[in-house]
Chains A and B, each alone.
Chain A
Amino acid sequence: MNYEFDWQAILSGQYLEWILQGLQCSISLMILSSLIAVAIGVFVTFGNLSTNPLIHFISSVYIELCRNIPTLIWLLFFYYVFPELFPEKIEIALNSSTMLNYWAAIAGLSISSSGYISEIIRGGIMAVPREQIAAAYSLGHSKAHIWKYIIWPQAIRNCFPPLVTRIIHNVKNTSLALSLSVHEIMWATQQIESITFRGLEVTILATIFYLTINFVLSHLASLAEKHVLATKN
């Protein structure tokens, strides 16, 4: 193996610009899709816990669909099929939009994560002992009061570690947006590789990027667990 590294070639001019743009795009994908996924997840959990059988059924079907179809299929679905489902005028407007692939990636990522997240949150809520809720009712607390002071604080503590795992998974999945040629970091590395044949350098760059992001995220999570969520006895 005698490979000569040439960092100068890829860290200058247009290529550097692609990489920086890719980093920015990747990070915005990660943040937006995770936030939307958590929001949808919480919403669907309420549907799943509802006593109305129809709402319960719809949200269960939604969760199963999210969990059992690969993320990549969701991305491709939102990019290729979703515009097709609208009347022609909207379809043309959607297809001519340059941001379609970016938003399709966000929609696909957040939908595919939201199913898992809602299951995690449901697990956290179900783990709160029923006796506590019954006791709170008999003490005359209102429903909103019980959610705010009894269920949520415990549920958040219960579901925080698996939630972080899932978000890290989602962060890694943003690399799939490459298949829609969203200009994120993997796309940048592939472009530069195909022009300069400096595949090793750019792949190392991407590897370092993902390692850093995951390291920072897991450390933030353990800090949060220690200081913010710790039970104050």
Chain B
Amino acid sequence: MTDILKIIKMFLIGPFPQGELGGLAINIILALLTMVSGFVLGLLLVLGRISKKAVIRKITTFIVEMIRALPLLLIVFWFYFLIPLFSGKTLPLFLSAYLSVTLYSAVNQSEIFRAGFMNISKGQWQVASCMGMSYSQCIIHIILPQTLRMMLPSFVGFLLSLFKDTSVISIIGLIDLTQTGIMLSQREPNKLVFSYIVMGGLYFVFCFALSRVAKKIELKQQGCGAK
């Protein structure tokens, strides 16, 4: 019984108090961190995409479209193998995972932002500038609050998919939930099915809870719209 508890603890936080943090905790931390930094970077990217200067618009559109076409795994490899090639020193595993997932999260969140911006009528921009608001004031006080509220379900949905996608970093050797499962099942082949059930179960519980939250927000918003 203590054996099973020990394994479940390994899945949740890895060998934490004695060793490095690992397991599910890594996935959660990475997903939250990259969600936040991707949010900021994504906002910058979308501001570039709707910029009045054609050069900036074209460059950001090119970057976003290109990175969106690449699998996350390939972005992770770019950071993991090629940054050391240029800088001469290797990045810590977690940092390179963090940078690559941030980039991935930024381009995807910039698309969510863009969808929200598109839904806001042109008239609002015009009215704001008529009232003497500057471009940045208009974005901060008028456009962003509406976009955030409108796209909240999409952001939660993206957090869900980001959380699932963080499993990819196990391929470069970070000891996250997936890698813990692989290692445990190889060390103790008689617990293979058990460890996969625990691993899948943990992912399922977290993602299912998040997807319910997203659905609830969406229903609440639709209810508000109908009134």
Interface residues of A (CB under 8 A from B): 1, 3, 64-65, 67-73, 76-77, 80-81, 84-85, 172-176, 178-179, 186, 189, 193, 199-200, 203, 206-207, 210-211, 214-215
Contact = CB atoms under 8 A, between A and B. Distances in A.
Classify the interface of chain B: helix, strand, loop or mixed.
Answer: helix
A76 B168 contact: no
Given A1-B86, A175-B71, A80 B207 contact: no
Interface stretch (B35-43, B53-61, B76-84, B117-125): B76-84
Given A76-B182, A77-B196, A172-B70, 4 more contacts: A73-B178, A175-B73, A178-B73, A203-B81
Given A67-B211, A69-B204, A207 B70 contact: yes
Interface string B162-196: 00110110110000001001100100000011001
B82 A203 contact: yes
Nearest to B78: A203
A64 B178 contact: no
A72 B85 contact: no
B200 A73 contact: yes
Contacts of A210: 69-71, 74
A38 B196 CA distance: 26
B212 to A, nearest CB: 10
A80 B182 CA distance: 9
B125 to A, nearest CB: 27
B204 A206 contact: no
B159 interface: no
A203 B77 CA distance: 8
14 contacts: A69-B207, A70-B178, A73-B178, A73-B200, A80-B192, A173-B71, A175-B71, A176-B171, A178-B171, A186-B73, A199-B81, A203-B78, A206-B74, A211-B69
Given A199-B85, A211-B66, A73 B74 contact: no
Contacts of A80: 185, 192, 196
Contacts of B196: 73, 76-77, 80-81
Nearest to B88: A1
B185 A176 contact: no
Contact of B86 (A3, A84, A85): A3
Contacts of A176: 71, 73, 168, 171
A205 to B, nearest CB: 11
A69 to B, nearest CB: 5
